[in-house]
């Protein structure tokens, strides 16, 4: 892995963990307000729990994603019809495995039941993979539209 890929991986994980921590802060503040608990303590506790759970899930996800290129190269379509389908499959598999590992770690740390963590985190990670694929497809479609506008002189 070169330094550019390492930076991209770090950036990817950092964005997801930060988003998760921000969600935890919002939910922690909402929960504290609803139950009448101390606001700063509850907010920080929930934000750190969300950050820990997302770190435990997204680091293995990125490891599985990057190592998948060693088993099936980027432009190899031996097993799957197209490169686009291969990339979607790669994302789903890496997120699913990240959810299993991260869910096991999180479930084991928080309540001593790794299976319950796996059952909670894996579907969330697969949902995140679906969202990432939808965003990528929207970006591709929008870039293609902008290129068509530019070549037809629509600007």
Whole-number pLDDT of residue 80? 54
Distance (Å, whole) CA 137 – CA 66: 21
Q: What are the structure tokens assigned to 152, written together? A: 């037809």
Q: Please check whether residue 68 is in contact with residue 93, taking contact to mean a CB–CB distance below 8 angstroms.
A: yes
pLDDT tens for 68-115 read 888 877 666 555 567 788 889 999 999 999 999 999 999 999 889 999
Mean pLDDT of 119-125: 95
Residue ranges with strand state E in 4-154: none
Domain ranges of the chain: 3-152
pLDDT tens for 14-23 read 999 999 999 9
Distance (Å, whole) CA 43 – CA 122: 25
């Amino acid at each position: 892995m070169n330094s550019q890929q390492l930076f991209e991986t770090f950036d990817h994980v950092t964005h997801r963990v930060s988003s998760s921590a921000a969600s935890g802060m919002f939910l922690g503040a909402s929960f504290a307000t609803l139950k009448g608990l101390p606001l700063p303590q509850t907010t920080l506790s929930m934000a750190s729990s969300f950050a820990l759970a997302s770190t435990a899930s997204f680091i293995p996800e990125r490891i599985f994603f990057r190592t998948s290129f060693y088993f099936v190269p980027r432009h190899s379509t031996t097993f799957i019809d197209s490169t686009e389908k291969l990339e979607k499959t790669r994302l789903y598999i890496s997120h699913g495995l990240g959810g299993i590992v991260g869910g096991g770690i999180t479930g084991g740390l928080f309540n001593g039941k790794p299976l319950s963590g796996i059952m909670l985190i894996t579907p969330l990670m697969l949902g995140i993979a679906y969202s990432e694929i939808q965003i990528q497809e929207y970006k591709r479609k929008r870039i293609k539209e902008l290129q068509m506008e530019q070549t037809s002189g629509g600007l």
